[in-house]
Amino acid sequence: MPKQDTLMKALTRSLSGGALDVLGVHGVELEEPLSTELPVNTLRVDRVWKMKNQDLFHLEFQTKRESTLHRFLEYDARLANEHRARIRTVVLYHANVANAPSDLDIGAAYYRVENVFLRNLDGDQALADVANHLRHGTWEPSDRIRLGLALNMRLVDQNRAFDRVRELIPQVPDEAERDLVVSAILVLGDQGLTEEQRAVLRKELRRVSKLAEELYEEGRMEGRVEERVQIAFNLLRKGLSLEDIADTTKLSKQEIEDLARKLTN
């Protein structure tokens, strides 16, 4: 999944260097992203990294209240079994969530997560801080999170804040730093947006960020390959020769033979 690899590498840098301090989450220095698929009856966590101290950092983003921590406990138990490492789990809650459990006592074990309620952070002030730092050339790692997550914080006017985010992103002068902001927005920051807002924002991100444009192109290429694979499946079912299918889809003969085996299995 090259698109996800590119995005996660950027997000790894985006969330490091003290960027999460603004959320009250300190001491996070990420080293590399890990697979989010857990073994046995495959489960998928939101995001997980190995940190520089070799512990794991497990990040969940919730737009609704999690009423019990049993699901996260299962995630972390499997992660611990898979990686034999200590785990720090942080749950980011959208501004529409006011409270959620932070611990779970199951008798044999006591489980705890760190909840961050974005409603406790002033999104309008976060954007004002970003604008001020850009104006005075005092950009700091936490500004990635202020700008990336502002739309999920407490806001007076969400539509006005949305427009402000769109104005500020192109003003980030360093291209690499702008890509780190974009990674935070694409993975975390657009969770609470409407579909229309998400489409508008992603279109504009492509205009100002090389990372966003690369992800878009990779997505288009992946879509084209998937489309060719589906066409090949259909032609195989109709009994066309491998040569004709290869000529039609531009897939290799080996790829088509692999698809044919899948059909017969």
Residues 53 and 142 in one domain: yes
**In sequence order, which residues have a C-beta less than 8 Å from that of residue 92 and are 6 or more positions away?**
23, 59, 60, 61, 62, 116, 118, 149, 152, 188
Q: Answer yes or no: do 105 and 146 share one domain.
A: yes
For the stretch 90-123, pLDDT in tens is 999 999 999 999 999 999 999 999 999 999 999 9
Between 9-13, 133-137, 253-257, the lowest mean confidence (pLDDT) is in 253-257
**Full domain range(s) for residue 256:** 215-264
Angle between the 210-237 and 175-184 helix axes, to the nearest 10 degrees?
Answer: 50
CATH number of the domain bearing residue 238: 1.10.10
Is the domain of 127 the same as that of 192?
yes
Q: Where are the alpha helices (DSSP H) in 137-250?
A: 142-149, 158-168, 175-184, 195-208, 210-237, 242-249
24-62: pLDDT as tens digits: 999 999 999 988 876 656 677 889 999 999 999 999 999
Provide the pLDDT confidence category of residue 221 given band limits of 50, 70 and 90: very low
187 and 226 assigned to the same domain: no
